């Protein structure tokens, strides 16, 4: 195939990691095709609650650096929330010690302080963080990619060798388990409930009495309630009993949630790994393969930092 038709880079995977990586590569002047098994609106990323915070991701030092770079980008995008789906929203990080963030993010998070008893019953931090509406942000990213000359192709692949380009970037998330293959990638099932917002304007992230994650995020389409973190569970169907428990735990923090009308149930399988794989290798035929996967539930949080590093590994350094 002629290289002008083929393009310089194929990015495989159309979630937040793949889309952001494709945008960075295209805006650095590379000819990029993005291969996605399904439209961005149906990827795992579309289900995300999408609060910026480095949730269960390693290696810790690198993840914090990626997160801070992404924070910078989201702060800029929050100037146009209607277009980008990104806004800065206030809320409480429950059971979070100030020392946990003091060494790496306190200087980057203006207004970070201990939550008052009126704001949260336990020990927590009040913060103003990026909160993304993924129903708006993913399509916006896709159009930004296209505006930079990128091409989106909806196709599934059985092997990364199908990518007919000198440079291939693997952003397949959970798919990397079979495509690489990498058995270290495993699902962490997350179930959410979307309800009519009874007037809640701040988000909360907490922990239930049994150690379960409890959170709610006000989004334009309703109040998103969560959640679960079930390791090695592949079931993508919502469990009614789990949904009832999610509503119950959230209502324990904000009683008005108890009577809210349910709008939707969502399930996403987070692509977890003991550590993010962000590295390159040379294939037997001399082509370059860059891996960028294993971000678990923190893909939104580290997307831009990882994308820029992956673009550098792919031979597209910043100007």
pLDDT in tens, 145-165: 999 999 999 999 999 999 999
Known binding-site positions for D-dopa: 215, 270, 297
Model pLDDT for residues 291-307, shown as the tens digit of each residue: 999 999 999 999 999 99
> Which range has the worst mean pLDDT, 47-56, 103-112, 223-232?
103-112
Which pLDDT value is given to residue 269?
96
Averaged over 48-71, what is the pLDDT?
A: 94
Pairing mode, if any, of strands 288-293 and 167-170? parallel
Cis-peptide into 252, omega within 30 deg: no
In the predicted structure, residue 5 carries a pLDDT above the cut 60: no
Q: Provide the 3-class DSSP secondary structure of residue 50.
A: coil
In 3D space, the residue among 80, 81, 79, 57 whose CA is nearest the CA of residue 67 turns out to be 57
Residues 6+ apart with CB under 8 A from 307: 17, 20, 21, 23, 24, 292
Specify the higher pLDDT residue, 261 or 210: 261
**Average pLDDT estimate for 124-141:** 96
Q: Which residues are annotated as a binding site?
A: 44-45, 157, 172, 215, 270, 296-301
Quote the pLDDT of residue 55.
85
Distance CA 131, CA 51 (A): 5
The CA distance from 251 to 256, in Å, is 7
Residue 84 scores a pLDDT above 50: yes
Query: What pLDDT does residue 6 have?
Result: 44
Task: Please give the share of the chain, as a percent, with pLDDT higher than 70.
Answer: 97
- From the list 191, 315, 288, 196, the residue with the least C-alpha distance to 241 is 191
Residue-level pLDDT at 317? 85
Residue 314: pLDDT band with limits 50, 70, 90: very high
User: In which band, very low, low, confident or very high, does the pLDDT at 111 lie, cut at 50, 70 and 90?
Assistant: confident
| Annotated binding-site ranges for FAD | 44-45, 157, 172, 296-301
pTM: 0.96
Beta-carbon contacts of 130 under 8 Å, excluding residues fewer than 6 positions away, are: 51, 52, 71, 74, 75, 78, 86, 87, 88, 89
Domains of the chain with CATH codes: 3-87+130-184+274-313 (3.40.50.720)
pLDDT given for residue 233 in this prediction: 98
């Amino acid at each position: 195939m002629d290289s002008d038709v083929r393009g310089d880079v194929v990015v495989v995977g159309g979630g937040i990691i793949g889309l952001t990586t494709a945008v960075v590569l295209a805006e650095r002047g590379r000819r990029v095709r993005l291969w996605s098994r399904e439209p961005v609106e149906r990827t795992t990323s579309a289900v995300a609650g999408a609060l910026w915070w480095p949730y269960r991701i390693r290696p810790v030092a690198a993840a914090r650096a990626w997160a801070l770079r992404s924070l910078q980008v989201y702060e800029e995008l929050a100037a146009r929330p209607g277009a980008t789906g990104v806004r800065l929203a206030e809320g409480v990080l429950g059971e979070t010690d100030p020392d946990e963030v003091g060494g790496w993010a306190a200087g980057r998070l203006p207004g970070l302080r201990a939550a008052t008893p009126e704001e949260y019953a336990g020990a927590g931090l009040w913060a103003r963080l990026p909160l993304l509406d993924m129903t708006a942000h993913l399509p916006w990213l896709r159009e930004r990619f296209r505006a930079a000359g990128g091409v989106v192709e909806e196709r599934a692949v059985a092997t990364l060798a199908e990518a007919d380009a000198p440079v291939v970037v693997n952003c397949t998330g959970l798919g990397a388990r079979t495509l690489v293959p990498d058995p270290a990638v495993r699902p962490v099932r997350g179930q959410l409930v979307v309800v009519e917002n009874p007037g809640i304007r701040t988000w909360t992230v907490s922990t239930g009495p049994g150690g379960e994650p409890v959170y709610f995020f006000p989004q334009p389409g309703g109040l998103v309630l969560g959640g679960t973190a079930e390791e090695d569970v592949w079931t993508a169907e919502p469990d009614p009993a789990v949904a009832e428990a999610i509503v119950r735990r959230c209502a324990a923090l904000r009683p008005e949630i108890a009577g809210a009308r349910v709008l939707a149930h969502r399930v996403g399988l987070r692509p977890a790994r003991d550590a993010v794989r962000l590295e390159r290798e040379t294939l037997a035929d001399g082509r370059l393969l860059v891996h960028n996967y294993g971000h678990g539930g923190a893909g939104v949080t580290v997307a831009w930092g990882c994308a820029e590093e992956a673009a550098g590994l792919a031979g597209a350094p910043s100007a």
